[in-house]
Structure 1
C-alpha cells in the first residue's frame, strides 16, 4: 500500500494534479472501479467530486431484495 491518491472527475484533473503535487500524491481519474482500486492500493484518498458521487463510490452495493405482495405470482426486485 502506498501513500495518497487524488481521485477526480475528468473536468477537475488539472486541479487534482495541483493538489497531488502539494500532497506528494498520485492522481487517478474517476471511473467505475476507482475507489475499489484506491482502497486496495493507497492509505489515504482525496476525492475531487461531489459528495454524493464519493459516497456512492465507497459504500458497498445494496443487497438485492425481492418483494411480493399477498396473492402475487411473481416478485419485483
Structure 2
C-alpha cells in the first residue's frame, strides 16, 4: 500500500467530500424530477378519466385549466425558482 503525505491525504479527503457533494446534488435533482414526473402522470390519468369537455363548455377555458394544471404539476407553487 503506497504511503501518502499528510498534504496528499488532505487533498484526497477534500476530493472525496467534493464528489460526495456532487452525488448528493444529483440525487436531489433526480428525486425532484421523479416527483414532477409522478405528478404529471397522475394528472394525465385524471384527464383520461375525465374525458372530453362537456358540451357547452368553452374550449379555451377548458384548455386554460388543463395548461394551468400541467404547469402546477411540473412546478408546484411551493417550489421556488432559482435564478
Do Structure 1 and Structure 2 share a fold, with TM-score over 0.5?
A: no
Which of the pair has the greater relative contact order for Cα pairs under 8 Å at 6+ separation? 2
What TM-score do the two structures reach when normalised by structure 1? 0.26
What TM-score do the two structures reach when normalised by structure 2? 0.24
Report which of the two structures shows the higher radius of gyration computed on alpha carbons.
2
User: Going by fraction, where is strand more abundant, 1 or 2?
Assistant: 1
